[in-house]
Chain A
């Protein structure tokens, strides 16, 4: 899955001249946490996040209460936004795992997706990545979710594949990862199988040599 497949297209965007107040209102009514700031035909200028509205005590400590409210009322998006240089950006053709790494490393919650070279085409947030994970593991459809532990060597996946072929079963979602907290070199594989039962899966996949079912459940 690539960024373009799971990003939010046509994100709500605002102009740098918009009042900060209004931006905050737009975020609340639309329940979004990030607003790309654009100018000159969707060119990225900055990003407004919830943090942007936090008052910085040093900037107002010398003001009296009237001056504070006036200052707040006249605050523009361009005064509070995260500047372009500090925004995490990605291209639409990046892989979703790479984007996840970027977010993780930078400890940020959103990536602005740009194309030729700085036009905003979408936004990818943690929520979108979680959605992608969900889809990859076949969550929206009903079925049996089984986790199989197998040794990390050639030919192990082939065994499962042969079995599925024999049974003529389909797979709605699939994911693998190195087995956590075990001794030795093992991999866990999560499979989502529709139109079957726990018993049938146990009966078949559980019998494969060197493989072990470590979790099985009937889920939506």
Chain B
């Protein structure tokens, strides 16, 4: 019901909260002076990069800070009742009855050894003394409320028997069983694929309306927050630097940090030129060494002497935004000029017309699956195979970038691993520099020519697991130079330093160990190591998905610069479609091992689309609330790759299938043809060209409100 807020009391109100952890030599102030309130039926987003104290605030509310953490000052009021210093018993009652939490990893909240129904029922039988059968009915109701298919059967299953998106639905249903007044969600969709994420976000928005629950939504993803939240608070280094209604925050960010963050994320709404990324220089100060003035001062482009001397207080702006900056009124983000050192020079030559360096023809990769039946063990059963990559064919011109996108399990990584030789191809060809690299199907990577290994290098998603923790940075980067002999031994050090400088790391990193580096720095070392042997083709497997947006922007810009300088060809795997658009010259969209669409990057994001690409684009969270996206949600799960659907692999979930004559019978039986469009843009679909071209665009920018 629409009532004036001034008569309403917030469900949750934090005032000047400071949270401190006791450590061996003193105390660390993790969070300082955070104030905000959440009203009934409102969802309040908290965004910020890792380590800025988002989750700490959430934990303080439910007193999960651990043995050494405590709320040092300030007050946390839930429905007018003070939570700080409340007895454990009372807090437990509140947590059970009125406050619920949903975490990033649903498996953490679910007991793997209990059936889903049993753990859900427990909430009701133990907490409310409800009878078993009544509790079961209620659980089934709630599961159907969160659109769980076949809820009667799901409650009999174990957590591992349902998919990640479904697990998260179970956790959300469980949180809602008690009809809480406050729901705290800590990155609830971060571990999910975009299409699943989109469905879960829709669900959250719907539940907020129906149950009138106040939601505190923690996320690092500006796009997700734009989609589900009504209010947003931006946190930086333990402080809330800006708080505003969602539209205002994105349209008119007041704090320089918020402005910087928004410049770091590629946007799908605008044209490609506007998705230029500008990383924020410097790095987040550690909590025990924060500057005495403004925490953002050392990284701020507008910092003056006052910012370094005096800590700004939160100020209310005329439009209701609260911001922690001395000069917020004077700063105009539109007048911002990127500093020379982070600006990316536009490409001078068109690399897309170069001769191809990599030609993939009908590449297949099947894995054998060990069956567990007696027949299988005796070797009499029919051999089953996971068809991880099916008939992939494309060409990559020298010096260009091919982005490969798709949901998890679609075969992106397998494709790349097959090219680099970590996996043997089952059939087909991969010609690199006119040389077939799949010729030695029986031998492994060690059987490859050293020259070939040198020319193909890889950057991995998780730099930690690919670095030897006891080797210094210098040794790690120098190793490939030594091994391949690309640099004379006496020049290795200077060459490593040169590479480090190209990565903006500097010589002082030479003797550091991996544990002394931040995540972004480790990834830079990973890239430097891949480039050390001067390869012609670098395969990047999600190189930025584990990084914060500002670091991500820096790494992406760095990769582009390196590519222009060394003329390296890049194969870039990502699940984030906006990153791929910004970064790539060509894009391949994969689904269940099959390339569904291939073409120049700009063409992929414009009409015509493959129905799957259309669904992906509609699911991507865009950090701009003024952009409207067509709502297309895929139903069901990705089918198993052991027995992929016949005909078109996408037919079981295709929302456009009904456009085919007789309901798409053909899609079930026949492999679709490649439909050719401009500039080598190809779509693997039965739908005729004219139909594909007649779709409406997925992303459209809402008309600007007329100026007064």
Q: A41-B178, A42-B97, A131-B1 are in contact. Are A12 and B79 (CB under 8 A)?
A: yes
Residues of chain B from 186 to 232 with CB closer than 8 A to chain A in the complex = 211-214
The one of A6, A30, A43, A140 that contacts B9, using a Cβ cutoff of 8 Å:
A30
Bound CA span A142–B601, Å: 50
Q: Are A10 and B40 in contact (CB under 8 A)?
A: yes
Task: Across the interface, name the chain B residue whose C-beta is closest to A12.
Answer: B79
Query: Is A38 interfacial (CB-CB < 8 Å)?
Result: yes
A15 at the interface (CB under 8 A from B): yes
| With contact pairs A6-B1, A30-B80, A31-B9 given, residues A41 and B179 touching in the complex (Cβ less than 8 Å) | no
The residue from B3, B96, B98, B138 contacting A131, defined by CB atoms under 8 A apart: B3
Q: Tell me the bound Cα distance from A42 to B94 in angstroms.
A: 10
Could you say which of B1, B11, B93, B128 contacts A15, with CB atoms under 8 Å apart? Answer: B93
A10/B213 in contact, CB under 8 A: yes
Interchain CA distance A32-B179 in the complex, whole Å: 21
Closest A residue, CB atoms, query B96: A41
**Quick one: which of B81, B129, B211, B212 has the most chain A CB within 10 A?**
B81
Most buried by A among B80, B130, B213: B80
Are B181 and A10 in contact (CB-based, < 8 A)? yes
Q: Which A residues are in CB contact (< 8 Å) with B2?
A: 140
Report the Cα distance A30→B127, complex, angstroms.
27
Establish whether residues B128 and A43, one from each chain, have CB atoms under 8 Å apart when the complex forms. Answer: yes
In the assembled complex, which residues on chain B have CB atoms less than 8 Å from the CB atom of A38? 97
- Asked if A121 lies at the interface with its beta carbon under 8 angstroms from chain B, I say yes
The closest CB in chain B to the CB of A43 belongs to B128
A2 within 8 A of partner (CB): no
Evaluate contact between B79 and A30: CB separation under 8 angstroms: yes
- Residue B708 is within 8 A (CB to CB) of chain A in the complex: no
> Do A12 and B128 touch (CB < 8 A)?
no
Which residues from B are CB-within-8-Å of A103?
A: none
B11 touches A10 (CB 8 A): yes
For residue B670, CB closer than 8 A to chain A, the reply is no
Could you say which residues of chain B place their CB within 8 Å of the CB of A6? 1
Which of A10, A31, A40, A135 is close to B129, meaning CB atoms less than 8 Å apart? A40
User: Looking across the interface, which residue of chain A has its beta carbon closest to that of B138?
Assistant: A116
Q: Which residues of chain A from 138 to 178 have any CB-CB distance to chain B below 8 Å in the complex?
A: 140
Q: When A26-B80, A40-B129, A135-B1 are in contact, do A9 and B93 touch as well, CB less than 8 Å?
A: no
Kindly list chain B residues whose C-beta atoms are within 8 Å of the C-beta of A15.
Answer: 90, 93
Inter-chain CA distance A15–B214, complex, in Å, is 21
Task: Decide if B129 touches A41 in the complex (CB within 8 Å).
Answer: yes
Contact A41 B97 (CB under 8 A): yes
B34-68 CB mask vs A (1 if < 8 Å, else 0) is: 00000010000000000000000000000000000
Q: How far is the CB of A204 from chain B (nearest CB, A)?
A: 30
Residues from chain B with a CB closer than 8 A to the CB of A100 are: none
The verdict on B313 contacting chain A, using a C-beta distance below 8 Å, is: no
Bound-state CA distance A5–B7 (Å) is 19
Please tell me the number of chain B residues within 8 Å of chain A, measured between CB atoms. 29
In the bound complex, how far is the Cα of B536 from the Cα of A49, in angstroms? 78
* Contacting pair A29 B80 (CB below 8 A): yes
Which residues of chain B from 62 to 90 have any CB-CB distance to chain A below 8 Å in the complex? 79-81, 90
State whether the Cβ of A205 lies closer than 8 Å to any Cβ in chain B. no
**Docked complex: A35-82 residues within 8 A CB-CB of B:** 38, 40-43
> How far does the alpha carbon of A169 sit from the alpha carbon of B121 in the complex, in Å?
51
Question: Within 8 Å of chain A (Cβ to Cβ): is B134?
Answer: yes
In the bound complex, CA of A5 to CA of B11 (Å): 19
Residues of chain B contacted by A135 (CB below 8 angstroms): 1
Contacting residues, chain A, for B9 (C-beta < 8 A): 29-32
- CA A104 to CA B280, docked complex, whole Å: 64
Cβ contacts under 8 Å, B90 to chain A = 15
- A217 and B9 CA atoms in complex are apart in Å by 34
Find the A residue at minimum CB distance from B81: A26
Across chains A and B, the number of contacting residue pairs, with CB separation under 8 Å, is 60
Q: Which residues of B contact A40 (CB under 8 A)?
A: 127-129
CB distance from A5 to the nearest CB of B (A): 8
With contacts A9-B212, A116-B138 known, is A41 near B81, CB below 8 A?
no
With a CB–CB cut-off of 8 A, which chain B residues contact A9?
40, 181, 211-212
Q: Is A119 in contact with chain B by the CB < 8 A criterion?
A: yes
- Give the most central of A9, A10, A26: most B CB within 10 Å: A10
Cβ B11 vs Cβ A119 within 8 A: no
The answer on a CB contact under 8 Å between B178 and A42 is yes
User: CB-CB < 8 A to A5: which residues of B?
Assistant: 1
**Chain B residue with the shortest CB-CB distance to A14:** B81
Could you tell me the distance in whole angstroms from the C-beta of A130 to the nearest C-beta in chain B? 11
A123 to B214, CA, bound (A): 17
Complexed CA–CA distance, A10 and B130 (Å): 20
- Give the shortest distance, in Å, between B141 (CB) and chain A (any CB): 11
Cβ-closest chain A residue relative to B124: A41
Provide the residues of chain A in CB contact with B180, threshold 8 Å: 10
Query: In the complex, which residue of chain B has the Cβ closest to the Cβ of A140?
Result: B2
Interface membership of chain B positions 1-19, coded 1 if the CB is closer than 8 angstroms to chain A and 0 otherwise = 1110001010100000000
Chain A residue nearest to B41 in the complex (CB): A9
CA distance A30 to B178 in the complex (A): 23
Q: CB-nearest residue of chain A relative to B129?
A: A40
A13 / chain B contacts, CB cutoff of 8 Å: 97-98
Determine if A119 and B128 form an interchain contact, defined as CB atoms under 8 angstroms apart.
Answer: yes
CA distance in complex: A10, B178 (Å): 11
B206 to chain A, nearest CB (A): 15
| Nearest chain B CB to A127 CB, angstrom units | 9
In this complex, what residue of B is CB-closest to A27? Answer: B80
**A12: chain B residues within 8 A (beta carbon):** 79-81
Chain A residues lying within 8 Å of B98, measured Cβ to Cβ, are 10, 13
Nearest CB of A to B673, in Å: 50
Residues of A within 8 A of B134 (CB): 116
A84 CB to closest chain B CB, in angstroms? 16
Query: Shortest distance in angstroms between A112's beta carbon and chain B's nearest beta carbon?
Result: 14
Contact across chains for B1 and A42 when beta carbons are under 8 A apart:
no
Which A residues are CB-close (under 8 A) to B79? Answer: 10, 12, 26, 30
A26 to B134, CA, bound (A): 34
Q: Which residues from chain B contact A43 at a C-beta distance below 8 Å?
A: 128-129
Measured CB to CB, the nearest residue on chain B to A128 is B1
**Most chain B CB atoms below 10 A, which of A12, A121, A140:** A12
- Least CB distance from B135 to A in Å reads 10
Question: B3 near A121 (CB under 8 angstroms)?
Answer: no
In the complex, what residues of A have CB within 8 A of residue B214's CB?
Answer: 10
Question: In the complex, how many angstroms separate the beta carbon of A66 from the nearest chain B beta carbon?
Answer: 28
- Point out the residues of chain A lying under 8 angstroms from B11, CB to CB: 10
Task: Give the interface of B toward A (CB within 8 A).
Answer: 1-3, 7, 9, 11, 40, 79-81, 90, 93, 96-98, 127-130, 134, 138, 178-181, 211-214
Q: List 27 A-B contacts (CB under 8 A).
A: A6-B1, A9-B40, A9-B211, A9-B212, A10-B11, A10-B181, A10-B212, A10-B213, A10-B214, A26-B79, A29-B80, A31-B9, A32-B9, A38-B97, A40-B127, A40-B128, A40-B129, A41-B97, A41-B128, A41-B129, A42-B178, A116-B134, A119-B128, A128-B1, A131-B3, A135-B1, A140-B2
- 11 further interface pairs, Cβ-Cβ under 8 Å (given A15-B93, A30-B79, A119-B128): A10-B212, A10-B213, A13-B97, A13-B98, A26-B81, A29-B9, A32-B9, A41-B96, A41-B178, A42-B97, A121-B179
- A-B pairs, top 4 by smallest CB distance, nearest first, are A10-B181, A41-B128, A30-B80, A9-B212
